[in-house]
Amino acid sequence: METEDTMLLSQPALFTKAQMPALNFKHISNLTDKTGIIQHAVFSMPNRKEGYCIDDNARALLFAVWACKNNKKDQIAHDLLLVYLSFIHYMQNEDGYFRNFLSYTMTATEDRGSEDSFGRTMMALGYLINEGRSHLLIRTAQGIFIKAYPHASKLTSLRGIANTIVGICQFIKYHYPDDRKRDMVIHLADKMVAMYKDSKSSDWHWFEPVLTYDNAMLPLALLNAFEVTQQDEYLTIAFESMAFLESRVFYNDTFRPIGNAGWHKQGGPIAQFDQQGIDAMAMVLYYQQAFRLTGEQLYLARMYKCYQWFLGDNDLRLSLYDFSNGGCADGLHTKGINLNQGAESTLAYWISHLLVASTL
């Protein structure tokens, strides 16, 4: 339960671009070859033995979209965007589904990826369609998106549904109005509402009986759904569930993501470690959207607070961000940081950085 010691900031924090590291895409470039971004690293060296995944290439596409948007003349980001979109195109099957994992020797390890990876890909494609700077790349992304779209209605995974909602909402913004896709958003958001109501109790306001990873993506999806449908129930549940999540992840004004060494099951303890960058990124995404919808400065303060987790405002007062190469450590453990700088964590940092920078 939230106490005075765990209360969030009540006033917006002072924060400026001067407190942010300079743009440095060196490590992302080192992880990326002509095929895509390699998913893991041995410290700062790409681990080619682990190959590629569409999860990370979708995140990388989202990063590149926003890097190009923030700096139209950034040739590095534009070139990287082409690589990541090409990877996603290659990994799409004829039936529209996506494969997830690809070995360094170009062997796909499954016929179809997870629903989570499907959702992340649809989300990234949606943002490229809505916010991309190249008409030809937008048309390419639309072709991939439309081919995959018929499978959206069959999703059952919470995070697959949530990410797909965000992607469809971005598509709708580009093609507004689009009543058919609006109906799909309602169909998927209603699934989330049903899950929420089934799981909710007097002391547990969440979509499932455990808090795990990417948690803020769930209320974020409902904020997006509200924006295109204006259905008040989505907004109510988004804010209610986020208030519950906040009560579990802020301590003495420090952001503490749910640790993946045990998670937080209903009625059980909250794992403090291992903390992951994707959870900070999800919070940043949520607060940016909440600010867009409400204009309340408090959401900016919370967004800055979660971003600063990467830079040392965390339980161990250690920076996960590597100022020398633009990489980011894979997690925060009991005794320190995981020194491996994989794609997921590094992209989580840079997506967060770009969103925060866009508000300053």
Question: Per the omega criterion (within 30 degrees of 0), is the bond before 183 cis?
Answer: no
Q: Kindly give the parts of the chain with pLDDT less than 50.
A: 1-11
Q: What is the pLDDT at residue 72?
A: 75
Ramachandran region of residue 267, left (φ > 0), alpha (ψ -120 to 50) or beta?
left
Q: What is the pairing mode between strands 41-42 and 45-46?
A: antiparallel
DSSP string covering 247-264:
HHHEETTEE-PPPTTT-E
Residues in Cβ contact with 320 at an 8 Å cutoff, skipping those fewer than 6 apart: 277, 309, 310, 311, 314, 328, 329, 331, 332, 337, 345, 349
Q: Three-class SS of residue 108? A: strand
Q: What is the dihedral sign for C-alpha 339, 342, 344, 349?
A: positive
Residue 109's pLDDT is: 84
What is the pLDDT, as a whole number, of residue 8?
A: 44
- What pLDDT is stored for residue 296 in this prediction? 96
How far apart, in whole angstroms, are the C-alpha atoms of residue 290 and residue 224? 9
Tokens of 341: 């700088």
Q: In this predicted model, what pLDDT tens digit does every residue of 259-289 receive, in sequence order? A: 999 999 999 999 999 999 999 999 999 999 9
Please give the backbone phi and psi of residue 46, each rounded to the nearest 5 degrees, phi first.
-55, 135
The tokens for 7 are 């209360």
Count of positions (residues) in the chain: 360
**In 3-state terms, what secondary structure has residue 201?**
strand
- Rounded Cα distance between 217 and 204, Å, is 18
Give Cβ neighbours of residue 282 (< 8 Å, ≥ 6 apart).
214, 215, 216, 217, 220
